[in-house]
Amino acid sequence: MAMKVALLGCGVVGAEVVRLINEQSAELSARVGTSLEIGGVAVRRVGRARGTGLDPQLFTTDAMSLVTRPDIDVVVEVIGGIEPARSLILAAVKSGKSVVTANKALLAEDGATIHAAAREAGVDVFYEASVAGAIPLLRPVRDSLAGDRVHRVLGIVNGTTNFILDRMDTQGAGFAESLEEAQELGYAEADPTADVEGFDAAAKAAILARLAFHTQRVTAADVHREGITDVSAGDIASAKAMGCVVKMLAICQRSEAGDSIGVRVHPVMLPREHPLATVNEAYNAVFVEAESAGRLMFYGAGAGGTPTASAILGDLVAVARNRLAATSVGEGGHDTGLPVHEVGKTVTRYHVALDVADRPGVLARVAEVFAGNGVSIKNVRQEGSGEDAQLVLVSHQAPDAALATTVEQLRALDMVRSVASVMRVEAFSEDG
C-alpha cells in the first residue's frame, strides 16, 4: 500500500518537494520499499495556479484536518515560523504520523517538546533541511559521531548573509542590493531580518549544539547573536588589509573544563587561507572537531528551494523506511544537561582599528589599556599619519569580557577619536 504524505506549505521549498516526489516517484518507491504519494497540500489560499501539476482537489486551507487524517502517514512541514507549525506538528505526532520539517526557528525554540512528543508516540521527527540546507550534517552529528566526543562545531550556516558578505567583499556591492538578490534567488527567510540579524543562524547553532553536546537545554535565546547589519565597508577593507575576509560564523564550543558550552553567532575576520574563507555565494560549510575523529568539514548548498528539498526527500525516505520497519529514532532521550555559559567567558581574539592622533605616547597608552585587562597584543600596525592616523591591533586570545572592556576603555581615551572597526578574529582552535 502507498505511503501517504501530507505537505504543509507550498512555497520556495514546498513546491520543489512536490516536483521531486513526482519526478522521482519510481526511484523513491524502490528505495523505500513502497510508493510515496502526496495525499494533500495545505496552503494559505486554494485556487492559485501553482504549476505543481497536482490535482487541485489535493489543496486545502485546513491544515489541521489534513495532518490528523487517518490515511496520512508522514507530514512534511515547510510553512516555517512557530505557529501554527508547532500545533500542526504536535497534532501530527500525537496522531501517529512521522514528521519531516525544515523549521529551524521552531526546533530551536521548542525542539525538546517536539522530540518528547515523538518519543512518546513512537514516531520520527527528522529535520536535516533545517540546518545547512542540503548538506548532510545533522544525521552525521547525531548518528555517525554518537560514539565520539565533540569539542567544537564552527561554520557558515546562513546562505543569505554569506551571499551578501561575499558580494560586498568581491564586487564592492552594497548591502541592500545584495540582500534583494538573495531574496530573488529564494535564499532568504520570509522575513529577511531573520537572516541579517543572525536569528536564523542562532536557531541553527542551538540545534547543532543540542545534537553535538547531547543537551536538550539550548534554545535560540541562549545563543549570543550579532548579525551583519553593522558590518561596514570599512570593516571589509580593514579585513582585506590584514589578508582576511569577513564571514558570519556560528560557533558552539565546549568550555576548557568541559562542564559548559558557549554558543554564539557573529561576524568574524578569517584569514583568507582558512578553509571557511573560501566558502562563497550562498554556500555553507561546517567544521566539527571531535576527540577521536579529529576535524571534519561539511560543505555544500545551504539554501535554495531545490537543495533544501533534497534534504527533505532524504529524510522522507528515512522516516518512511522506519515506518515500514515499525521503528523510530527516539531522539533526545538522553540529556547531559550541559549548561550554556555567557559569551564573556568565551575565549576569542579581537581586531580593533582606532582613529587616533599621531602623537608620541599614543601607542603606549593604548597598549597599557590592553595590558590592564590582561589582554596581550599579537600585532599592531599604523596606517596614515598626522590627524588621519589609524592604529590597527589584533589581540591574542583572551576572555571575550576582557576584550569588550578593553574596547570600552579605548573608546573613552582622549587620543582615540573613534573606534573605526571592532571584530572578532577566528582561526583554528590551536592558534594562540
Ligand X SMILES: NC(=O)C1=CN([C@@H]2O[C@H](COP(=O)(O)OP(=O)(O)OC[C@H]3O[C@@H](n4cnc5c(N)ncnc54)[C@H](O)[C@@H]3O)[C@@H](O)[C@H]2O)C=CC1
- What residues are labeled active site? 204
Site string for ligand X, 91-110 (x = CB under 6 A): -----------xxx------
If you write DSSP's letter for every residue of 271-328 in order, what string do you get?
ETTSGGGG--TTEEEEEEEETTTEEEEEEEE-SSHHHHHHHHHHHHHHHHHHHHTT--
Instruction: Identify whether 84 is preceded by a cis peptide bond (ω within 30 of 0).
Output: yes
Does the footprint of ligand X cover residue 79 (CB under 6 A)?
Answer: yes
Smallest Cα–Cα separation from 22: which of 47, 54, 68? 54
Burial class of residue 76 (count of CB atoms within 10 Å of its CB; 0-12, 13-18, 19+): buried
According to the binding rule CB under 6 A, does residue 344 interact with ligand X?
no
Q: Is 189 annotated as a binding residue?
A: yes
SS3 (DSSP) at 36: strand
Contact 52, 15 (CB under 8 A): yes
Q: How many helices (H) and strands (E) does the chain have?
A: 14, 18
Answer yes or no: are the C-beta atoms of 432 and 396 closer than 8 Å. yes
Query: SS3 for 407?
Result: helix
Question: With binding defined as CB under 6 A, does residue 312 bind ligand X?
Answer: no
Q: Which of 300, 302, 314, 399 binds ligand LTNE7NMQ (CB under 6 A)?
A: 302
Select the residue interacting with ligand LTNE7NMQ from 16, 109, 189, 289 (CB under 6 A): 189
Binding mask 116-155 for ligand LTNE7NMQ (x = CB under 6 A): -----------------x----------------------
For Na ion, which is the closer residue by CB, 13 or 135?
Answer: 135
Q: From the list 195, 197, 226, 235, which residue makes contact with ligand LTNE7NMQ (rule: CB under 6 A)? A: 195
Size of the site for ligand X (CB under 6 A): 29
Q: Is 372 annotated as a binding residue?
A: no
Backbone angles phi, psi at 381, to 5 degrees: -145, 155
Residue 11 in marked binding region: yes
The residue among 283, 289, 324 whose CA lies nearest residue 303 is: 283
Residue from 13, 92, 118, 164 that binds ligand X (CB under 6 A)? Answer: 13
- Residue numbers in the known binding site are 8-15, 104, 189
Q: Catalog residues that contact ligand LTNE7NMQ under the rule CB under 6 A.
A: 133, 158-160, 187-189, 195, 200, 302-303
Q: Catalog residues that contact ligand X under the rule CB under 6 A.
A: 8-14, 42-44, 63, 78-80, 84, 102-104, 129-130, 133, 186-187, 189-190, 303-305, 308
